[in-house]
Chains A and B, each alone.
Chain A
Amino acid sequence: MRRDAKFGLALLLTPLLLWLSLLIFIPHIDLFLVSLRERVGVGKYDISLANYLTFINEPLYMWTFLRTAVMSVVATVITLLIAFPVSYYIAKMVKGRTQSALFLLCLVPFWVSELVRTFGWMILLRETGIISNLLQSVGLASGPVEMLYNDAAIMVGLVYTSMLFMVVPLVTTLESLADEVVEAGYDLGGNGLSVLREIIIPHAMPGIVSGCIVVFMLCLGNYLTPTMLGGKESLWFTELIYSQFIVRFNWELGAAFGFLLLILSSVIVWGMLRLTGQSLEKTMG
């Protein structure tokens, strides 16, 4: 009996272990090793930190790195601010069929690929796009208006792509908040703001943190949206990695970039957890 159970456990764990080792551990170790190589001659490599030094000494790389981090944090915050009231409405204000219908509506955009979704924004925002034409026909603009290829367009795209991943954990945690507890908050003298601050937000904290982690990671690692909606000035760190690997064929530097991105996301997530006093077990469990 116990041997059977052990065998079953091993069987269940096998795909996970295979996935972890083949797709996470081994590639990352290899990536790390590649990032530590320096090409000294044809087919000759030395171990050195040269790639990392290049990153530190080249302002463009550093600047893009920081820009990507800051913009991702901003996108996460905006997503949270928009998603929270939406989630609260879905979880607490409506019941039954309306609730599932609204939840489904959040899901609908994800039935098409990210490429198509982003292209949808291009149709709307470009110089000859719908909004530009509308503004001209109403008379608010004298000529074509270009709304694409800037940071605001990237931000719009990122928030739009991330919304669902914020709404789902928020709805789940908010649904578990008993109506009674909110009513008790009012009954004992609280107003809307204090009930939100002292009862609803603390209760939803695990959902907020896990939603923020997911959205932040998605933004940081996004390639398509910044590339399509951003302009020449709006570089994203993933674009740098892509160009090192594919355009420049400099795998060593690309690997170093990839590794730095991993460190960056880990540090920011860790800092976010520390700041909110949450632990990873609490938010994911």
Chain B
Amino acid sequence: MTPDLHCTDLTKRFDDTTAVDNVSFSVPPGSFFSILGPSGCGKTTIMRMIAGFLEPTSGDIQIKGKSVLNVPPNKRPVNMVFQHLALFPMMNIEANIGYGLRRAGLPKEEITRKVGEALERIGLPGIGHRKVDELSGGQKQRVAIARCMVLEPDVLLLDEPLGALDLKLRERMKVELKSLQAAFDTTFVYITHDQSEALVMSDNIAVMNEGRFEQMGSARDLYYRPDTAFVAGFVGDSNRWNGRVTKQNGDHVEVQTSSGLTLRGATHQRALSIGDQADAFVRPEAIRIAHNATELASFDNRISGHVTSLLFNGAASRVLVQGAEGGEEVEVNLPQSGEFASLTKGAEVHIGWSSDQANCFAGGV
């Protein structure tokens, strides 16, 4: 099956800075693909090249197997939901959604019918004659998507469209976007700097940094098997240690941190040898917390210490534990089964994790 969108060696240079550096990816039909990265990593540049507002310095963009490099934006079978939605304030909702159809020269009755269907689809029938500024944030969002979807594009581009919404609405729109994508059965390419948006909605995610894709894969892959230290640090929360490899046995390494801690970790087929600088990442939820040390006998990393902070956040509550032998504070998820409900600051605790959960990467300083 030909992918809906296929980019080969896409590069964009502005004067002497390289915004996008040799990026290749392809998006299968009907899937939800996200590009996740910090601001300034070049993700918007990729988006604008696909939409046709920017010309790539080199490389190719194919949509449904055909190169679109010489096709102007208004002729490309892609549409874009803009960051601030860019609804036309001078038109009512009906005219907004019908704009593209009018441009395509469809007869009037058909436009009215299609606009009605689209409004039905997004669950807002009967708002066609309202003005843009009479709608709520979530409604505008849905109208912006409907305005693109009536044109039945091969690929829908979404440029951080949830950024302007408040937190509660953003959570709801995540679920809604995913179901809209299923309802319209169209390929979505979504860019965001918010990892939870990407993790929740996407079939595939590319993590981008400094113009390059660091890793591409499912949300699960990125979270549990990050390829690079950047991905491990950027996706999800992690405890991070920096040190030198002192022992190596196949996939397992021992890392001596600068603060004197010895950690056992796994390289998961990454090249690391004795004497290398290494970064070790452990997720707070991969660490077990216990009242006495014997419960942690099965783990090959164990620290005893005391609680320095309680970070209460409902189900996602955490504690900071300071090891007795020094070193950095460790962030640990607090189980909500009740046995730690009475934990207080300064309490003696033991924490442990298995070396498989400690991802080690060749690191800088």
**What residues of chain A have their CB less than 8 Å away from a CB belonging to chain B?**
178, 180-181, 183-191, 194, 198-199, 202-203
| Contact partners of B230 in chain A: CB under 8 A | none
Complex contact B79–A187 (CB within 8 A): yes
Chain A CB count within 10 A is highest, among B52, B87, B100, for B100
What are 22 pairs between A and B in contact, CB < 8 Å?
A178-B86, A180-B82, A180-B84, A180-B86, A183-B80, A183-B86, A184-B82, A184-B87, A184-B88, A186-B53, A186-B73, A186-B74, A187-B51, A187-B73, A187-B80, A188-B99, A188-B100, A189-B75, A189-B103, A189-B151, A198-B88, A203-B89
Known contacts A180-B83, A188-B103; decide if A202 and B147 are in contact (CB<8 Å): no
- CA gap between A189 and B52 in the complex, in Å: 12
Decide yes or no whether B183 CB sits under 8 A from chain A.
no
Complex contact A190–B99 (CB within 8 A): yes
Main secondary structure of the interface of A (DSSP, over half): helix
Q: Considering the complex, give the chain A residue whose CB is closest to the CB of B75.
A: A189
Complex contact B103–A181 (CB within 8 A): no
Decide yes or no whether B104 CB sits under 8 A from chain A.
yes
Q: Which are the 7 A-B pairs with shortest beta-carbon distances?
A: A189-B103, A188-B100, A202-B90, A184-B86, A180-B86, A180-B82, A181-B86
| Contact partners of B89 in chain A: CB under 8 A | 181, 203
| Contact partners of B99 in chain A: CB under 8 A | 185, 188, 190, 198
- CA gap between A190 and B102 in the complex, in Å: 9
Complex contact B90–A203 (CB within 8 A): yes
Q: Considering the complex, give the chain A residue whose CB is closest to the CB of B105.
A: A189
Decide yes or no whether B148 CB sits under 8 A from chain A.
yes
- CA gap between A171 and B88 in the complex, in Å: 19
Q: Which of A178, A180, A191, A199 contacts B74 (CB 8 A)?
A: A191
| Contact partners of B148 in chain A: CB under 8 A | 188
Shortest distance between the CB of B298 and any CB in chain A (Å): 55
| Contact partners of B88 in chain A: CB under 8 A | 181, 184-185, 198-199
Q: Considering the complex, give the chain B residue whose CB is closest to the CB of A191.
A: B74
Complex contact B84–A178 (CB within 8 A): yes
Complex contact B103–A183 (CB within 8 A): no
- CA gap between A180 and B99 in the complex, in Å: 15
- CA gap between A247 and B82 in the complex, in Å: 66
Shortest distance between the CB of B215 and any CB in chain A (Å): 30
Q: Considering the complex, give the chain A residue whose CB is closest to the CB of B82.
A: A180
Shortest distance between the CB of B71 and any CB in chain A (Å): 12
| Contact partners of A186 in chain B: CB under 8 A | 53, 72-74
Known contacts A183-B53, A184-B80; decide if A189 and B86 are in contact (CB<8 Å): no
Chain A CB count within 10 A is highest, among B86, B87, B91, for B86
Complex contact A194–B82 (CB within 8 A): no
| Contact partners of B151 in chain A: CB under 8 A | 188-189
Q: A180-B86, A187-B80 are in contact. List 13 more A-B contacts (CB 8 A).
A: A178-B84, A180-B84, A184-B87, A187-B51, A189-B75, A189-B151, A190-B74, A190-B99, A198-B88, A198-B90, A202-B90, A202-B91, A203-B89
Q: Considering the complex, give the chain B residue whose CB is closest to the CB of A190.
A: B103
Q: Which of A181, A189, A202, A203 contacts B104 (CB 8 A)?
A: A189
Q: Considering the complex, give the chain B residue whose CB is closest to the CB of A180.
A: B86
- CA gap between A266 and B315 in the complex, in Å: 69
Shortest distance between the CB of A182 and any CB in chain B (Å): 9
Q: Per-residue CB proximity of B157-201 to A under 8 Å, as 1/0?
A: 000000000000000000000000000000000000000000000
| Contact partners of A184 in chain B: CB under 8 A | 80, 82, 86-88
| Contact partners of A180 in chain B: CB under 8 A | 82-84, 86
Shortest distance between the CB of B113 and any CB in chain A (Å): 18
| Contact partners of A202 in chain B: CB under 8 A | 90-91
Shortest distance between the CB of A285 and any CB in chain B (Å): 16
- CA gap between A202 and B72 in the complex, in Å: 24
- CA gap between A202 and B90 in the complex, in Å: 6
- CA gap between A190 and B53 in the complex, in Å: 14
- CA gap between A199 and B51 in the complex, in Å: 19
| Contact partners of B74 in chain A: CB under 8 A | 186-191
| Contact partners of A183 in chain B: CB under 8 A | 51, 53, 73, 80, 82, 86
- CA gap between A180 and B163 in the complex, in Å: 15
- CA gap between A191 and B99 in the complex, in Å: 12
